[in-house]
Amino acid sequence: MLRNSLKIFLPLLCGLLLGKTLNAQFVLSGTVFDSSRINYVPGVTVINKEGKFTLTDSLGRYNLSVTDKDSVSFIFRNKATQSFAVKSIPDPSHFDISLRVTYKGKYSTLKEVVVFGKTYRQDSIENRETYAKVFNYQKPTLRTSISPSGVPGADVDEIINIFRFQRNKRLKSFQRWLEKDEQEKYVNFRFNKTLVKKLTHLDGEQLNTFMVKYRPTYEFTSTTDELTFGQYILNCYYKYKLELLQQGAQK
């Protein structure tokens, strides 16, 4: 009797469990765009055939609980789209659609942007070209010039510039500043956190302290090959770790 009951009960139980599995709920997610496929559309009603619904947020995003036997449609400005069968949606976690409306809101997607990274050499060349007159500045001296008739004579512009003391002083000062700035940028280029972290494995505040404490001079940086420069960083690191150990022992 018990065996017969089990034979009847077990298939029914399996059928119920299978039915529940087939009708298991999951979340349908995506983004709603306007006809341009760039602008997000907020306030769109996303509704299933049972009447459960949600609204898209300010970025056009939505999440709605559905089953594989469900279907959904989108309503905006009292106009509804066709119904979409959930089982026919390839990726329910990214079901994006575009409505046949134009909507210009606060947010939109960016078109493809290509960013070109400049090397230190490119930046340096551009800087030299931008401030060529300053970089190439030389103290005015008496020079001769040739007139259109071929008669040599003194260069009047140079004579005037000799007595423009404030101008000459400013140009010379600016020239020195530009050269110093260029040198500092070169040191930054070679002695950078990425390289130092890779060689020393320092991070956080210790890395920041190391970068300031052991920053090399421009003269050393500009005349040192890669191998020697890397060894310099390692030597400084060993010295820095020893100092940390000594400070810890004193506490």
How many CB atoms within 10 Å of residue 99?
Answer: 19
Alpha-carbon dihedral of residues 217, 220, 224, 227, nearest 10 degrees?
-60
Higher pLDDT, 152 or 222: 222
Supply 138's token pair.
Answer: 């030389």
Highest-confidence range of 16-25, 102-111, 129-138, by mean pLDDT? 102-111
Report strand pairing: 26-33 vs 97-98: parallel
> How much is the average pLDDT of 45-55?
92
pLDDT of residue 168: 62
pLDDT of residue 101: 92
Pick from 46-55, 160-169, 234-243: least confident: 160-169
pLDDT tier for residue 146 given thresholds of 50, 70 and 90: very low
pLDDT tier for residue 241 given thresholds of 50, 70 and 90: very high
> How much is the average pLDDT of 178-192?
87
pLDDT tier for residue 193 given thresholds of 50, 70 and 90: very high
What are the b/e assignments for 154-179, b being 16+ CB within 10 Å?
A: eeeeeeebeeeeeeeeebeeebeebe
Per CATH, the number for 25-115 is 2.60.40.1120
Q: What is the domain partition of the chain in residue ranges? A: 25-115, 116-189, 191-251
Higher pLDDT, 178 or 42: 42
The DSSP line for 32-77 is EE-TTSSBB--S-EEEETTS-EEE--TTSEEEEEE-TT-EEEEEET
pTM for the model stands at 0.40
What residues contact 168, with CB distance under 8 A and at least 6 apart? Answer: 139, 140, 161
pLDDT, tens only, 88-100: 998 899 999 999 9
What residues contact 105, with CB distance under 8 A and at least 6 apart? Answer: 39, 40, 41, 42, 58
pLDDT, tens only, 203-236: 999 999 999 999 999 999 989 898 899 999 999 9
pLDDT of residue 75: 95
